[in-house]
Amino acid sequence: MLAQGSLEFRISHRCPTTRARVGEIATPHGTFDTPAFMPVGTQGSVKSLAPEDLEDAGARIILANTYHLYLRPGHGLIKRLGGLHRFMSWSGSILTDSGGFQVYSLAGLRKISEEGVTFQSHLDGSRHFIGPEEAIEIQESLGADIIMAFDECAPYPSDYDYVLNSVKLTSLWARRCVEKKKNESQALFGIIQGGMYDDLREMSARDLTGMDFDGYAIGGLSVGEDKQTRDRVIKNTRDFIPDDKPVYLMGVGAPEDLVEAVMLGVDMFDCVMPTRNARNGTLFTATGRVNIKNVRYADDEGPVEKGCRCYTCCRFSQAYLRHLFMARELLAYRLNTIHNIYYYIHLMEEMRQAIEEDRFDNYRHYFYELQKKG
């Protein structure tokens, strides 16, 4: 059985008509409300933002990337300098992924065996090996509050036999992660795989829930599947996850995807969409996406979104934001990202309030009605 980490999950309210719920997760570095969105700080930094920007936007937990921090600057260095929280001057909670998805994305630069994955660095071509034991060792050195079991993410599309083997490998590696983990101040989440096959999702979920992890992630999605398939997989996988454990949907993050997944009982999310889109000049609003490059905003004195309380909307016009972006001024990326992160954090706040007030169905309908007006 898995020794429980320092994580407490309390559900405070449930939607009477859906699986949506409001909760609270306490970690050694603070408490955050669920459903929660975790900004992605791949290399120990949410691109273009300082920790104060994240705090002001309402973020209480962020995600960092095990694979990237292992390669540069190295988990040993981060440990010697006091751990990831001190290294990046972030006082809130941190979740680190196991590196499995990044290794998956290397494709031709990797070789998978029962022991783990041998791969070439995308930085300099040097050869490395990460297995479940190494993934736990790296994450314990980083000192995150929530760490992830090492998994094998099957490509999409994949045939049944390949995904079956992937599920078996993920289960084998998950048990080895449980056995390797020694730091009881960290919570360990298992990652459910199974591709788009419902029976393999059930197999993976039953295997991992038998190991009694602190929480469970639904992995292997947002890899090219259509939205209908994704929603089906989330719904069917969620059925096999214990209701008293937090559920984390990995890497899925369009606003409408978050609304649907919350309805299906998901508690935690991460995605690069708000930061990546900000750097490309796309801003999220309640009425849809704004392409700040559009000439229509060249003399627009209004904010990106009326009523938005983020720093960007309170201080700057769309005309100024367009000017910055077209001039390739670095400030453009910071201001755009502040707004998008605020939008995502505020979206989760809106959903929590709607659930607490037993009006989530109406909120969901209103969300889509507003999006149509964009």
| pLDDT tens column, 264-298 | 999 999 999 999 999 999 999 999 999 999 999 99
Tens digit of pLDDT for each residue in 313-372? Answer: 999 999 999 999 999 999 999 999 999 999 999 999 999 999 999 999 999 999 999 998
Check whether 1 has a pLDDT greater than 50.
no
Question: What order of strands is seen across the sheet that includes strand 36-38?
Answer: 36-38, 268-270, 247-249, 215-218, 187-192, 146-148, 93-96, 61-64, 40-41
Residue 370, both tokens: 């507003």
Give the list of residues 6+ apart from residue 341 with CB closer than 8 angstroms, or none.
39, 46, 49, 53, 54, 57, 59, 274, 275
The model's confidence at residue 5, banded by pLDDT at 50, 70 and 90, is low
pLDDT for res 100: 76
Query: Using CA atoms, how far apart are residues 92 and 95, in angstroms rounded to an integer?
Result: 10
Greater confidence (372 vs 158) lies with 158
Q: Residue 95: phi, psi to the nearest 5? A: -110, 130
Q: What is the 3-state secondary structure (H, E, C) of the chain?
A: CCCCCCCEEEEEEECCCCCCEEEEEEECCEEEEECEEECEECCCCCCCCCHHHHHHHCCCEEEECHHHHHHCCCHHHHHHCCCHHHHHCCCCEEEECCCHHHHHHCHHHEEECCCCEEEECCCCCCEEEECHHHHHHHHHHHCCCEEECCCCCCCCCCCHHHHHHHHHHHHHHHHHHHHHCCCCCCEEEEEECCCCCHHHHHHHHHHHHCCCCCEEEECCCCCCCCHHHHHHHHHHHHCCCCCCCCEEECCCCCHHHHHHHHHCCCCEEECCHHHHHHHCCEEEECCEEEECCCHHHCCCCCCCCCCCCCHHHHHCCHHHHHHHHHCCCHHHHHHHHHHHHHHHHHHHHHHHHHHHCCCHHHHHHHHHHHHHCC
The answer to pTM > 0.75 is yes
pLDDT for res 4: 44
When pLDDT is averaged across residues 124-140 and rounded to a whole number, the result is: 96
pLDDT over 90 for what percent of the chain?
Answer: 93
pLDDT over 70 for what percent of the chain?
Answer: 97
Query: Using CA atoms, how far apart are residues 217 and 250, in angstroms rounded to an integer?
Result: 7
pLDDT for res 109: 76
pLDDT for res 101: 74
When pLDDT is averaged across residues 219-226 and rounded to a whole number, the result is: 95
- The lowest-confidence range among 29-33, 97-101, 287-291, 346-350 is 97-101
- The lowest-confidence range among 101-110, 203-212, 303-312 is 101-110
Under 8 Å between Cβ of 150 and 98: yes
When the pLDDT of each residue in the chain is averaged and rounded to a whole number, the result is: 95
Check whether 105 has a pLDDT greater than 90.
no
pLDDT for res 102: 74
pLDDT for res 372: 86
- Of 204, 180, 182, 210, the residue nearest 191 (C-alpha): 204
pLDDT for res 69: 97
Under 8 Å between Cβ of 237 and 194: yes
The type of residue at 336 is N
Would you say how long the chain is, in residues? 374
pLDDT for res 313: 98
When pLDDT is averaged across residues 250-263 and rounded to a whole number, the result is: 97
When pLDDT is averaged across residues 229-250 and rounded to a whole number, the result is: 98
The model's confidence at residue 110, banded by pLDDT at 50, 70 and 90, is confident
Domain extent listing, the chain: 8-34+65-271, 278-372
When pLDDT is averaged across residues 51-73 and rounded to a whole number, the result is: 97
pLDDT for res 178: 98
User: How do 21-27 and 8-14 pair as beta strands?
Assistant: antiparallel
CATH number of the 8-34+65-271 domain: 3.20.20.105
When pLDDT is averaged across residues 80-94 and rounded to a whole number, the result is: 98
When pLDDT is averaged across residues 6-14 and rounded to a whole number, the result is: 95
Residue 130, both tokens: 């990460």
Query: Using CA atoms, how far apart are residues 190 and 188, in angstroms rounded to an integer?
Result: 7
pLDDT for res 310: 98
When pLDDT is averaged across residues 187-213 and rounded to a whole number, the result is: 98
pLDDT for res 104: 67
When pLDDT is averaged across residues 62-70 and rounded to a whole number, the result is: 96
When pLDDT is averaged across residues 242-256 and rounded to a whole number, the result is: 97
Residues belonging to the active site? 97, 270
When pLDDT is averaged across residues 219-225 and rounded to a whole number, the result is: 95
